[in-house]
Chain A
Amino acid sequence: MIPELDRTALEDESVEVPPPVAGFIDISERLTGFTAFDLYATGMAQLYHDTTVDQVGREAVGRFIDDLAAAGGDPDRLVDETSREIARAVTHLWYLGVWPALARSVHRALGREKANTAFTAAPEAYPEGLVWRTFHGHPPGAKAPGFGTWADPPPGAPPLARPDCPAHGTGGAT
């Protein structure tokens, strides 16, 4: 049952909220190889979108979007070096939470007035880096898996039969 008030809200077009940064997510799926669901789940989409625009400017982002469309959406077919560098930087941001220093030539071509240095987008961005998920790892200092879990075989690894050394060590019940 949807309460009366909510139904009115749903019917009213003026309060319909567009999915945030949908275009950016669309591009990021192609750059990262992760699904929109995974990308939204990091909680970082808006921040990364804003960081990108802030770092390279709307114009360059616009050209990058056009170039990517012209390349059939395949980042690997980007030929313009500035757009390709933006593709690398946005991917780097998703994988590590860190905006990287750009190639000096691209930095110059963009006429950027900010320092060309790497920085972490926000403290929360670091544990959300996609890189940890590529190998079933977890970010050091966050999302701890629990006592003794490091003794288990990771996905894709054979279990070890070592009777003298049970998988959870001899550290007692876990």
Chain B
Amino acid sequence: MNSPSLAGRRRYDVIVVGAGMAGSLVAKRLGDQGWRVLVLEAGTGTLDTWPGHLDALNTFASAVAKVPNSPYRPNAVAPSPDVLHVGGLPGGGYRASGYLVQRGALPYNSDYLRAAGGTGLHWLGLTPRMHPDDFAVRSRYGYGRDWPIGYDDLEPHYRAAERELGVAGDAAEQADAIGLPFPEGYVYPMREIPRSYLDNVLAARLDGHAVQEKPGSPHTTLRVVTTPHARNSTPHEDYDGGRGYRPVGAAGLPNYGERCVGNASCTPICPAQAKYTPLKTQAAWSRDVTLVTRAVVSRVLTTSNGRARGVEYQEYDDPAAPASVTRTAEADVVVLAAHAIENAKLLLVSRLATRSDQVGRNLMDHPVLLTWGLMNHPVGPFRGPGSTSGLEGFRTGAGRRTRAPFRIVIANWGWSWPTGSPGADVARLLGMGGDPAAPRGRGLFGAALRDELGRGVSRQFALQFEMEQEAESRNRVTIDPLHRDLLGNPRPVVTYDLSDRVKRGMAAAKAVSDQIFGLLEAEDHTAYGPGPFAPGHFRYEGRDFVYQGAGHGAGTHVMGASRETSVVDPWQRCWDHPGLYAVGCGSMPSVGTANPSLTMAALALRSSERIHRELSELRRPLTVRTAPVPEGRP
């Protein structure tokens, strides 16, 4: 599909910048309607072939630190941030190296991936909907920003996104346990992914019990709820009015990749491709979509009256060498879909959408507080998808007036996130810490080592408290001419911190965790302190906390009802520039507690409809003509 010379010559209807989840969905929708779409992708496109997929699996197996980006080869000219670039200091504080320049009080501790497929190659694949309350946090709860649209506006697009991504879930349970409105009789394309044994242990011990965040505060009743996933399960026979659903298999190898077989490596790579990735959408693009990889968009071009006209991009051959050719491509509509942080960067570099002074501001993530412990019998960690259920009772409600709400994710992969299990357990029992300069312990060997590992690891479990972070203008992406990458493009400069609201939410989450551990009769091993593996360490009201990044970057080209206070309108169109759209989580004015990509996908599909209308209007004189047009007329 790589046809470099083509791009220079032809005029397109639409240029999409970035072949991640948002961009791939927009290109699919518009290509299906016959529009000529050019997708420019900064990274390489090796992963959509079967040998490329196998190479990524090998790279993953060889990586000593199995972080989200580890299966994907570093690209010097289109660099990606990596969680390994951020480290903690012994006495507290952090240092950052690599692509993102970090200037905040606390680190933005999330990565993304620049390769065809984008961050959706290594996402976990959880696809809960946002709660209706999440769209109106300012008017209902007095903080952050409201959306100019609500749950009801998005609902049909949620359904469309659930089809495109192939979501497995139990709609009746989501409605009952969380209060999510669905149309009468709606079922997801596939039946829910079975709960893990761990989920069932938690349900048996927690369901129906109430906990309190503080003495005197209201009680919240616990209930384990299965999570919707973009992951192949058993098709639901009632889906689509009884027409059912056909799961989408692997990209690059026909007749492969069916139901989730429990590889337990969804983040960073699903060997079976049971998990949705944007490569699946790309495999279904019509012939009207042209993908050019190794094309780093460096600037958006506009006409003198501010209308989008095209983009300038740098095409390269070798991801390790800073040699490129600068080209331009033109189209009636330009869609930025390069990820929240890169979209903001492109607008800043192009000096566009400046009126509201909101470009790059309101950067959000879901800061994650982890707690971890040992159950009193084996619970089967490291089996199945990373999470199959959660506790949803803290996602909204009165508590939200004073502290951030949270979603509790039950983690199926033991202590892998908080401590680096099981590798870290082996090293610890052998007397080897992470620091070669530190003195060694004696170490255990033979049967003693084997038994001790078996007894310990088999009982590990963890909870992830995913906090809502509110839009704050001080959390932002900027550029600085002093910090550039190999092609001379500015690197994102990030200023990030957590508000007291989020910190109060974490304190409440920890109190809830303590009670849950009590009900589970679990041994709590949670410990927070500064150190090399704790860049997210902070102290709040005399107590230590450590948070992690969720990879849910949002807010950087915020959507709003007015051009004075927001970057894009309710259709994700830049207020200041006709024909220029910025799609992705960057448009979200609030993120609630749901993992954001399903909402992002719904927004992208909704915008595709608007783009289609816009293009149809532009073309009307040509397409609706009934009589031959006289010579000389357009």
Contact = CB atoms under 8 A, between A and B. Distances in A.
10 contacts: A33-B446, A88-B431, A91-B430, A92-B432, A119-B64, A140-B382, A145-B261, A150-B262, A154-B380, A171-B234
Contacts of A81: 440
Contacts of B426: 92, 95-96, 131
Contacts of B226: 169
Interface string B276-289: 00000000000000
Interface in B438-475: 439-440, 442-451, 453-454, 457-458
A171 B443 contact: no
A144 B262 contact: yes
A158 B264 CA distance: 22
Given A135-B378, A135-B381, 13 more contacts: A33-B448, A76-B448, A88-B443, A91-B443, A98-B423, A118-B64, A134-B457, A135-B454, A160-B204, A165-B203, A170-B191, A171-B234, A173-B234
Identify the 9 closest CB pairs spanning chains A and B, nearest first.
Answer: A169-B194, A150-B384, A141-B265, A154-B380, A172-B234, A135-B458, A33-B450, A140-B265, A123-B61
Contact of B450 (A32, A169, A173): A32
A87 interface: yes
Best-buried of B194, B271, B388, B457 by chain A (most CB within 10 Å): B194
B458 A136 contact: yes
Interface stretch (A4-12, A57-65, A101-109): A101-109
B62 interface: yes
Given A120-B61, A162-B204, A144 B272 contact: yes
Contact of B61 (A33, A85, A127, A160): A127
Given A154-B197, A157-B377, A172 B458 contact: no
B383 interface: yes
Contacts of A150: 194, 196-197, 262, 264, 380, 383-385, 388, 412
B445 A87 contact: yes
A163 B170 CA distance: 17
Contacts of B63: 120
A157 B260 contact: no
Interface of A: 30-34, 75-76, 81, 84-85, 87-88, 91-92, 95-96, 98, 100-104, 107, 116, 118-120, 122-127, 130-132, 134-138, 140-142, 144-158, 160, 162, 165, 168-173
Interface residues of B, number: 73
Contacts of B458: 135-137, 154, 156
A154 B192 contact: no
Contacts of A32: 445-446, 449-450
A157 B380 contact: yes
A135 B64 CA distance: 21
Contact of A126 (B61, B170, B260, B442): B61
B159 interface: no
Given A31-B445, A169-B194, A134 B453 contact: yes
Contacts of A31: 445-446
A122 B383 CA distance: 24
Given A135-B378, A157-B197, A147 B445 contact: no
